[in-house]
Amino acid sequence: MKCWICQINEANSEEHKFKASDIRRQFGKSFDAVYYDGEKLYPFNSPKDKLIKFPKIICIDCNNNKTRNADDAYTIFFENIDKINNMIEQTGHINYNEIFPSNWKSSKIDIHRYFAKHAGCKIMTSNFVDQVDISQLRLFILGKENVPNFYVRIFFNEITKEFTEQLKINPRDKYRSNIAFGSTIYVGESNDIGFAGSIINGSLRIEWYYGNQNHFNRSIDFSTESDFVEKVNIEDYYPKAFTDFINEDFFSYLNFGKYHLNEELLKNHYRTMFRSLTV
Ligand SMILES: [Zn+2]
């Protein structure tokens, strides 16, 4: 199989679903962590574990060289998560200049290229791979400065922020983190083929949308230094109220892994948003 990004080299590299930098920052070098796949808990103790990687769908050159700036921007962004949380709580905005003071413009594009790489890997390992035209996404990752059919929304969730703070001080080392992904959801209708998914990292929920042949009516604005972030207190997506969660629920629903959400609600939410992007 060829790498979906360059479409030249053999796919011989495993992109991390969960970035090694996140894992090292939260757990250090040697640790005992848990991955949840939506049904079962799996222990893992290395950032190189296959559990937390995609299968080989990209090449070493794309993974290590061509997307290095994207990976670095993501790492710096989440190294600054406490600052970002404060900014959002105080101003309702993320100011990219405060996170990347020397190069916020290129870094803002780069972190979105990271989200694009992640979304592309999700799409290319989904059940809908035969229906995908990934060309715009790969050109964006390889250096194009805009992408007409990829859209990202960032939300701040006070509940998952507090929960993540709790995990950091929890004496049970293996639950020190809250990073999760939802399923790749097919949101297409007739000729409008589309995909959506999301990443949760601590307080932030990053939703992405990709439309095969659509030029969305909104595009990610890379010219703004500071962006409004919608605050949510979402418990709706979880199977019961957080107040009714016992410890094991927290650990299994909100740790490394796939979050187990109210899929129907999620699908409706994604479809509504996708329609608003394409109409
Ligand atoms: Zn490649």
Q: Are the CB atoms for 260 and 250 separated by under 8 Å?
A: no
Near ion ligand 1, which residues have CB within 5 Å? 3, 5-6, 9, 59, 62
Q: What residue ranges of the chain have pLDDT lower than 50? A: 255-256
Q: Give 211 Cα–ligand 1 centroid separation in angstroms.
A: 22
The rounded percent of the chain whose pLDDT value lies above 90 is 49
Per residue in 156-190, pLDDT (tens digit) is 988 788 878 877 776 666 666 777 777 788 887 77
Query: Would you state the pLDDT for residue 54?
Result: 87
Residues 6+ apart with CB under 8 A from 29: none
pLDDT at position 165? 82
Going from the Cα of 200 to the center of ligand 1, the distance in angstroms, rounded, reads: 26
Task: Give the per-residue pLDDT at 171.
Answer: 61
Distance linking the first and last C-alpha atoms of the chain: 35
pLDDT in tens, 120-132: 999 999 888 888 9
Give the 3-state secondary structure of residue 155. strand
CA of 43 to the centre of ligand 1 (A): 31
Please give the pLDDT value at position 266.
76
Q: Indicate the SS3 state at residue 95.
A: strand
